[in-house]
Structure 1
């Protein structure tokens, strides 16, 4: 209960901190729209311009710097202040904001880009060091590139843009850079892609995209070369995405470690479940829709807390169903989140996996 109260307090505190710039920006906009604003006053125009792009972001930065809110959100606020100022200030009073946009804004963009590049390089370096330590048995903690990457991006950016950036970098990494196969530890790691047929499905889709891209490009090029190239580039990138998804399956196995069950479906979805939160586990290929209907008849309410680990839905079957005491979160691609209490997924060694989970639960 104390943990729940503390968590709620942290959430409410973050909301209050986010309200500070909203109220300050709202006050500036109200001042501009009121009779107190004198367009002819150059000093007032300068003061308001400084407030939009410097004062309010600095106040916000000082308020959040000791919290887990990314410091780079202050840059986001600065950009928002610039565009709000350009929108609400009369045209003749925008000279200072135009100067900021022309001379300071590119420097800020370059700075943010430099931070992101530095973070990515630091992530790759950290990953290589962890990999060496793990292979030499200096550490018992398992890890993978995508987890390290997400943590690094979240240190530099707010959660949503961090998820977007991490996913895009992961697509490049898994599709182009990472080709060495991962050694599976049979004592705590389980594959899910060998007997599922999903890799074959994605491979077929990549082949279809390759053929269709060439055909459509040649057809559209006769009408509009620019549109033909735009669609071709998008199709090629989609192919790289599918290749990254397929290759990430073998790089990110299901993991049982430190009283936790880490379920992954490549870089497409993942969740962490405490073993003590597992109510039951069974080998079953029964469709989730059927389970939902049975529950609806028994409880007279239809639950929405049934999910599949695979975002492909019914395109991929499952052979394991886990039920939880308390609901938890399934994290999807690009930061999409879903809650669940019942999760269905596929495991290649389903019998061994189920036995190991049951033994660990009984030993608690």
Structure 2
């Protein structure tokens, strides 16, 4: 049987990580392995702080997620080392938490430098944002367009763009209302439980933050502080999703269909690129192969409803995901609250553009 690496990379990853954890656990708990030399401890630390992060990067993070997650992976690796390696062995390497903290600090400094680069041209960007036809509701879309003029093809700048959008929607958009100067808007969340999902996530994160921070602070204050920052980030992200979903309905103009789902995905689709628009008649659950070529423009839900509509494209178009990740698709599936009006309106626009 030929192993399809792409489809099985998560299984391969879990197998490798489980093997590393198991072998290291047995190393310190089997009597036949005692006494252990100093090199055995060094080998374990290499497993947890180098092998696991590198494996995670190549099998999980690469091309899909931001490198910022590597800090969390490194932290998790040290946590595994702390619980598996006996304290009298690990005490010799008490400097490791400081190295991890330094690494996190370096990532923060890099991001601050990028912020400085953006701030230098921010007055011009803000001036252009004010003159945009699509008003402040579509902050992420407008910001991306303007930043690309100054920093074309700079992936790391797009990572920063995600953070700027997150801070805007989570902290500065609460008094905003949907503001559109042209086109028709269609909400996509009112008939779902997506807002309740994110409120539950925020609630669980707050409870976990308080309890875990207290426990970890007794063990290591630096690690507790780093985890607290990650939890604050998660809360801000969830708040941003709530606000972005509320403020960015799908927008249909004479030439373009704008699809933005929270801050996690968006697409600017020219209507002349649409090959077919119809009610969805496919399976309720899509295979992993189908998902690679489809933009699923639906929100999270406790019970995910079957898609209402399907859009087939003449050629692959780009969608923007979080942290500057892009992907090309040739199909779109989506739901809207006012399905009949959306169906009639889009058909009329397509006929006009044919």
Which residue of 1 is the match for residue 125 of structure 2?
123
What is the distance in 2 between the residues matched to 1:271 and 1:198?
A: 20
Which residue of 2 is the match for residue 150 of structure 1?
144
Deviations 1:280-321 (A, max 9, x none): 22333754645x69xx9xxxxx79423312485997443222
Decide which of 294, 313, 337 is 1:306's aligned counterpart.
294
**Shift of residue 269 of structure 1?**
0.8
Are residues 1:349 and 2:338 paired?
Answer: yes
Alignment of 1:70-85 (within 5 A): none
**Shift of residue 182 of structure 1?**
2.2
Moved more, 226-235 or 279-288: 279-288
What is the distance in 2 between the residues matched to 1:314 and 1:202?
A: 11
**Shift of residue 184 of structure 1?**
5.7
Name the CA shift for 1:156/1:255 in 2 (closer, same or farther; >3 Å).
same
Structure 1 residues not aligned, in runs of 5+: 1-108, 132-140, 297-301
**Shift of residue 335 of structure 1?**
1.8
Decide which of 160, 166, 173 is 1:171's aligned counterpart.
166
**Shift of residue 225 of structure 1?**
1.6
What is the distance in 2 between the residues matched to 1:275 and 1:304?
A: 22
Instruction: Tell which structure's C-alpha radius of gyration is larger.
Output: 1
Deviations 1:1-40 (A, max 9, x none): xxxxxxxxxxxxxxxxxxxxxxxxxxxxxxxxxxxxxxxx
What is the distance in 2 between the residues matched to 1:191 and 1:280?
A: 22
Tell me the secondary structure at the aligned position of residue 278 of structure 2: strand
Name the CA shift for 1:214/1:350 in 2 (closer, same or farther; >3 Å).
same
What is the distance in 2 between the residues matched to 1:211 and 1:110?
A: 30
Which residue of 2 is the match for residue 299 of structure 1?
none
What is the distance in 2 between the residues matched to 1:359 and 1:190?
A: 15
Which residue of 2 is the match for residue 85 of structure 1?
none
Tell me the secondary structure at the aligned position of residue 131 of structure 2: helix
Structure 2 residues not aligned, in runs of 5+: 1-110
What is the distance in 2 between the residues matched to 1:215 and 1:123?
A: 42
What is the distance in 1 between the residues matched to 2:254 and 2:223?
A: 52
| TM-score between the two structures when normalised by the length of structure 2 | 0.59
Tell me the secondary structure at the aligned position of residue 264 of structure 1: strand
Decide which of 157, 161, 165 is 1:162's aligned counterpart.
157
What is the distance in 2 between the residues matched to 1:241 and 1:304?
A: 25
What is the distance in 2 between the residues matched to 1:305 and 1:197?
A: 26
Which residue of 1 is the match for residue 200 of structure 2?
204
- Which is bigger in relative contact order (C-alpha 8 A, separation at least 6)? 2
Alignment of 1:248-263 (within 5 A): 248-263=244-259
What is the distance in 2 between the residues matched to 1:111 and 1:342?
A: 38
Decide which of 328, 339, 347 is 1:339's aligned counterpart.
328
C-alpha RMSD of the superposition? 3.1
CA contact (8 A) 1:324 1:342 kept: yes
CA contact (8 A) 1:198 1:316 kept: no
Q: Tell me how many residue pairs correspond in the alignment.
A: 238
| TM-score between the two structures when normalised by the length of structure 1 | 0.58
